[in-house]
Structure 1
Amino acid sequence: MSTFNLDVYMPVVILIALALLVAGGSLFLGSLIRPHNPNKLKETAYECGEEPVGTAWANFNIRFYVIALIFIIFDVESALMFPVAAVFKKFNEIGMGGTLLMSILTFVLVLVAGIVYCWKKGDLDWVKSFQHVNQDAPTFGKKD
C-alpha cells in the first residue's frame, strides 16, 4: 500500500510562496517610493494626445455582449479540441478511439445545439423585427 508523500510538492509550494512574496513586495515597495502628487491633468483619460470628449464610460449595445459571449464559448471549444486531437492517435491504438470520438462529438453537438437555439431565438440578428401587435387586443389610453 502506497502512502501519499507531500514532500515532493514542497518545492512547488515554496516557489508559489516566493512568487507571491516578490509580487506583493514589489507592489508594496512601489507604493512607498512613488510620488503622490495627483492633479486634474493626470486624472483625465489619455486619448492619443487628443482632448477627451465626454466621459470614459460609454454604454455599448447589448448585442455586442451576446456576440462576444458566443465568440468566447466557441473560442474555448476550439482550444479544448487541440489536446483531444493530440492524443487521439494514442487512444485509437489502444482501442479507445471510438469512445474519444463520441465524447468529442457529443461536446460539439451540445455547442451546435446552443448556437442553433440562439439563431432561432433571434439573438444573432443585429436588427430585430418587432412582433405584430394583436389588433383585437384592447388599447388603453387611446381614443378613437
Structure 2
Amino acid sequence: MNNEAFQDKAGAFAAGLMVQAAWPILLIAACVLVTPVIGLTAGPQATPLSAGAWFVAAASALATLAFSTLILFDALLFRLMASHDGEAAGGAAVDDVLARMRLKPIPTATRSLDERMAGARRLLMKQRTAFCLFAAASLVAAFI
C-alpha cells in the first residue's frame, strides 16, 4: 500500500469511528432526557420487573458510553497513524504513545493497519451489543 492510500484509509476509518462513537452517546442522552416524562405518565405502579429493567438499562448505558469512549480514543490513534508518511511509521508512533501512557508495552513487531482496524471493529461490536441491550431493557422498563 502506498503512503497516500495508507493515509486515506486510516483517515477515513478514523472519521467513521468518530461517527460510531457519537451516535450512541446522543441516543442515550435523548433517552435519559425523556425518562422523567415517561416516569410521570406511568405513575407510581413500579414493579420489580420494571425496576430490574431500569437497572439493566442503566448498566448497559454506562457500558455503551465506556465503549464509545474507547472507540473515540481509537479514532484519535488512527488519526495519529494517518498523520505519518508510512504504515510502519504510523504504527510505531501509535505504539510509542500507548507505551508512554503505560497502556501497552512496546511490541516486538508493529501490527499492520488491517490488524488494528480488526481490533477496532471488535470493539464496535461490543458497543453495539451493549447498546442493543440498553434499548431492549429501556423498552421493557417503559412499557411494563
TM superposition score normalised by structure 2:
0.37
TM superposition score normalised by structure 1:
0.37
Q: Could you say which structure has the larger radius of gyration?
A: 1
Would you tell me which structure has more helix in proportion to its own residues? 2
Q: Which structure exhibits the higher relative contact order, with contacts defined as CA atoms closer than 8 Å and separated by 6 or more residues?
A: 2
